[in-house]
Structure 1
């Protein structure tokens, strides 16, 4: 017989026995135990007594009230800290600051390797050590580089402690236009590529957003290197200038300062084609419209919008000691 059916039968029998005993009588009166009628191998379910939680004692009530008060106080303190931080950041965002920014075409190591196009120069691995000394001498905290090959990137980062974007982010063959920055002064917010024609093919170039750690204020840096030469390369270079103009004007609309570095392969024409068509000024001077700075003008430029300039340095020593075939350019940029 199934167990559930057996239980049901026993229950009916027990209830029938109680009815037969008559009103007021119990199994105790007859010496019978109602449960004794249940076979030993069948369990009769018993109702469990529901336990009510005991009321909290006075010390427990006091402890709960203290915990609630402490939680309320902690919440209040967090709100105060958050408000003070917001006030401090608001004040910092209005704090003026200055930094050194430069541009340097290091002369890629492929040009001075056996069979390279630049004769009379030492190998890139030797020259990049001197390049690092110029970085330190100029005290730059942001540096746009050109022709920076992977081996030179490794050495320059190791010898200056600077970080690089894109570095290796776009692959080993796309390190040559990396922007270096001092991680003690700036932190990288974002980085992306824009594309410019260079000597017959389209190449990626970096634009990064940096945050000045002390003031939390942010800025953009663009690094570029358009085609050199005449003919179709001159046309490519002009298209590259136009791309930079469009990008600068777009970023200026954000309200943040925009800095541009690069070997532009142009002197007066770069000023008139790019600087004059944007809100930028050149670190080496110049007037409004197509009014380039007085000579001598290098093909390497540091320009920007939302900054003022001082301490422009056109360092000719890298050419003189054959570290590179370009000057090292730097200046102090100030953000009000």
Structure 2
């Protein structure tokens, strides 16, 4: 076999090296042998039919895995031009918009200050009431009626209330249903003491002191309870006395009880604190006129005594709310017979709003 010229041998060596490099860097192995046609120097075609697969142009996008990539299609277009498949793949990419830095706005102006918190000695307001709940011994359904009346106290927004004719079974219902209230004396003054109870809203008031006197009621000795409450916001203190005087023709016992209640009012007022007396007096006007003349108290219905007795706005009932004159300002007096009052008891639910200029608690 004749020996090839040196130039030809050099060309074949270079072609072999180029082919090996192409196969080495490719992802896939070159299929089959490389068919080369060697021509003499100066010919236009140097290498023809080099069927070598290079690294696929397509990359993994949109969830495709590298293992599913197909080899690039043969094309006579320049390698810098994107195929339709590549353009479609790139077009499906979700592009995240660039972040933008926004300028800060002017600082938020402070809201105008609200009303200052209450201070010791500031006036305060609440709703006070009196309610004879008609004891279980007088009419059936005592517990269900007590439950309905507890709902009325809550629904009317009464913050302090004196209750009369309470029985043990009704007391249990009231203690359960008047959520957020304290009731005194409960059973702390014995069986007779259960009949009269004072309830107040815990969020507004705290208990400072308690006490009682004993009067004759319906031929029995019965304690008359009182409480000293303190307004949580202003530290203002006030007394509440809850009474039920003898019924029907027992005028002597009723008058005697009224005298003892007047003495109690004046004793408590000597402390300089506001005093309220609420309850079923079993008298339309006599109780008020006598008490007002002796203590200077005024009624929630506008009743007062000044050289004579003015019994205030009607209807005048036997259920009264009185407060220390000059220290209380009543408004919104209501003689309430609305549901469930009218079927749950034989009394009106009397209640009113009151503004108190308090006595500051002393250390």
Answer whether TM exceeds 0.5 for this pair.
Answer: yes
Q: Write the deviation string for residues 267-304 of structure 1: whole angstroms up to 9, x where unpaired.
A: 11112121222121000112323221243201001111
Measured after TM superposition, the shift of residue 172 of structure 1 is 4.2
Query: 1:9-42 CA deviation, whole Å, 9 max, x = no partner?
Result: xxxxxxxxxxxxxxxxxxxxxxxxxxxxxxxxxx
Counterpart check, 1:285 vs 2:302: yes
Match of 2:193 among 169, 174, 188: 174
* 2:95 corresponding residue in structure 1: none
| Structure 2 CA distance for partners of 1:320 and 1:177, relative to 1, 3 Å | closer
Q: Does 1:226 align with 2:245?
A: yes
Spell out the pairing of 1:263-302 with structure 2 (5 A cutoff). Answer: 263-288=280-305, 289-302=308-321
Q: Which runs of 5+ in 1 are unaligned?
A: 1-87, 114-122
Deviations 1:188-215 (A, max 9, x none): 1111111111011221010111111111
RMSD: 1.9
CA drift at 1:318: 5.7
The structure carrying a bigger helix percent of its residues is 1
CA–CA distance in structure 2, aligned partners of residues 105 and 300 of structure 1? 8
8 A Cα contact 1:198 1:225, kept in partner: yes
Query: Partners in 2 of 1:287 and 1:215 — Cα distance?
Result: 27
Query: Over residues 78-126 of structure 1, what are the superposed CA-to-partner deviations in whole Å (9 max), with x where a residue is unaligned?
Result: xxxxxxxxxx99x82221100111000000011124xxxxxxxxx1011
Q: Secondary structure at the match of 1:196?
A: strand
Q: CA deviation at 1:141?
A: 1.0
Identify if the C-alpha distance between structure 1 residues 279 and 153 changes in structure 2 by more than 3 Å, giving closer, same or farther: same
1:111 aligns with 2:130: no
- Which structure has the greater CA radius of gyration? 2
Alignment of 1:181-330 (within 5 A): 181-230=200-249, 233-288=250-305, 289-305=308-324, 306-317=327-338, 321-330=342-351
- Counterpart CA distance in 2 for 1:297 and 1:143 is 19
- Give structure 2 stretches of 5+ with no counterpart: 1-115, 358-363
Which residue of structure 2 aligns with residue 36 of structure 1? none
Provide TM-score, normalisation by structure 1: 0.67
Pick the aligned partner of 1:164 from 183, 206, 222.
Answer: 183
CA distance in structure 2 between the aligned counterparts of 1:217 and 1:303, rounded to whole angstroms:
18
Equivalent in the alignment of 1:58: none
Partner residue in 1 for 2:98: none
- Equivalents in 1 of 2:333, 2:292: separation in Å? 17
Tell me by how many angstroms 1:173 deviates. Answer: 4.5
Quote the residue 1:138 is aligned against. Answer: 156
Shift >3 Å, 4+ stretches: 318-321
The alignment covers a number of residue pairs equal to: 237
1:53-102 deviation line (CA, Å, top 9, x unaligned): xxxxxxxxxxxxxxxxxxxxxxxxxxxxxxxxxxx99x822211001110
Q: Specify the alignment match of 1:84 in structure 2.
A: none
* Secondary structure, counterpart of 2:221 in structure 1: strand
Give me the TM-score of the superposition, normalised by structure 2: 0.62
